[in-house]
Amino acid sequence: MGMVVEREEWVLTPLAYPLISAASLTAVLLLPHFSRPHAAVVTPSSPSPFDVGTTPFLRFRRAFLLLFCLASVAEGIQSVFGEDEFVRCGFGREQMAARLAAATAAALFLGGASGVVSDKLGPQNACIFYWMLQLAVGGLKSFSGLRCAWVNNFILALASSMFCFCFETWIVLEHEKQGQKQDSLFDTFWLMTFFESISLVGSQGITNLLLDDDNKGILLPYTFAALVSIIGILYIRKAPSISTAHHASVIGSYQKSFFAHVLRDKRVLILVLAQASVQFSVSAFWFLWAPTIVADGRDAPLSLIYPCFLVSRMLGSAAVPWFYGAMAPFQNEDSLTTAYIAAGLALSVVAYDYQEIGTLVILFCIFHASMGFILPLLARFRTMYLPNELRGGMMSFSLALRNAPMFIFLIQGAYHGNIANSTILGLAACGLLSAGGCIHMLRRWRKHTRQNVRSL
């Protein structure tokens, strides 16, 4: 007598996407009407925050955001398959762990040096190098016979490391070159996070649209990423260059400057640790969110749940401008500390091995909304406390602090099973909570000389 095994499927409520999306768009559309306490309606004499600045800078910012969106789409296409791509290549658990560990090791050593190289080359050359890396990996993965090659993991790891800082450095230097107000730069920071989330959702749709038949010799999603990379290279080559030759004469050698302004400045070290905690928690989420959800035993449409996380990230970034400037109900450090605590508590509940899928999805949405709120504020504090010519080195240093424990966890957890998933999420939660406490300490040093010079 045969036995029939019934499979129960958990379905995300259809109202989740429109509700979160509507909240995000409402926050963005209503912002101009409440950006000044004395102006209930925007008039020609009271411009929107999106139109503050000279015409050349606004033109550059629109082009830059478009280019950044294309970079985010290329980045999303390369990572949208995730574990499924390894399965398509026929890899087992240990082979997947070996590839991921090798990519993490490449990001640890090569990515750690990429920030210094970026600071030396200048932001535009660094962005061109990023696009060249994307072009290389997109070209290789376009052919089904080459998409599982080891070199793809190394190139993609290095490209992802550079994506974290090369575009941010470029917009900051261009902003200072044109002498714009610091508030407009902060608007650019949260818009970058907002549009990046939209682009990542779009990359998933583009991949699903172009991936018609996986048995074909040419994989169209990666070909599209390669074409986008060519567009990025051509645009940056035509953009006006930013001179960085004065940096050496002003701050001396790079090594001495890095020790003086990063390693010996406790405020910048706090930002390094805060950035590393964010990057580590995001990496832990990427590795563990799917196994955590399916541990419930029910089937769950992961491809439909993941966009909900990105839309929550959009909501978090859209809330950022409501918590700074004249409208801010709290100090910037207090708002950032609260976001860290919210993200840490959300992961703490997950680490407690809670397995109800609906609760897990809500917690992960809270986590991503907090990430969308944290990232622009961290970029703002970097501009307050860090010389621009050291931004790449500082951010690659934080990436190294993230990649070192991830490499250990991949080796120990995947090969030997010594580290449970809940332990990794618990450590990520502790890191976020500790970083929130460190950010709170920055309030005591708000009146430092450098902050007065570059006050935001």
Domain 54-242 falls under CATH 1.10.10.1800: no
Residue 170 to residue 175: CA distance in whole angstroms = 8
Instruction: Give the pair of three-digit tokens for residue 368.
Output: 């991503």
Matching CATH topology for 54-242 and 254-456?
A: yes
Per-residue pLDDT, 306:
87
Residue 233 to residue 242: CA distance in whole angstroms = 16
Per-residue pLDDT, 419:
76
With 0-12 / 13-18 / 19 or more C-beta atoms within 10 angstroms meaning exposed / middle / buried, residue 116 is middle
pLDDT per residue, tens digit, the chain (456 aa), is 444 445 677 878 777 878 888 888 888 877 766 665 433 344 444 455 556 656 777 888 888 999 999 999 998 888 766 556 666 677 766 777 777 788 888 888 877 788 888 888 888 889 999 999 999 988 888 887 777 777 888 888 888 888 988 999 999 988 888 777 777 788 889 999 999 999 998 888 888 787 765 555 667 888 888 999 999 999 888 877 665 544 443 445 878 888 888 888 888 999 999 999 999 999 889 888 888 888 777 778 887 888 899 999 999 999 888 887 655 666 778 889 999 999 999 999 998 877 788 889 999 999 999 999 999 999 999 988 888 888 888 998 998 888 888 888 887 765 556 777 888 899 999 999 999 988 888 776 664 444 444 444
**pTM assigned to the model:** 0.88
Per-residue pLDDT, 43:
41
Give strand pairing partners of 9.
Answer: 299
Neighbouring CB atoms inside 10 A of 177's CB total 13
Looking at domain 254-456, which of 3.30.110.30, 2.40.50.90, 3.40.50.720, 1.20.1250.20 is its CATH number?
A: 1.20.1250.20
Matching residue, tokens 């790079």: 254
Instruction: Give the pair of three-digit tokens for residue 431.
Output: 């890191």
> Taking the domains of the chain in order of start, what are their residue ranges?
54-242, 254-456
With 0-12 / 13-18 / 19 or more C-beta atoms within 10 angstroms meaning exposed / middle / buried, residue 136 is middle
Per-residue pLDDT, 41:
40
Per-residue pLDDT, 81:
61
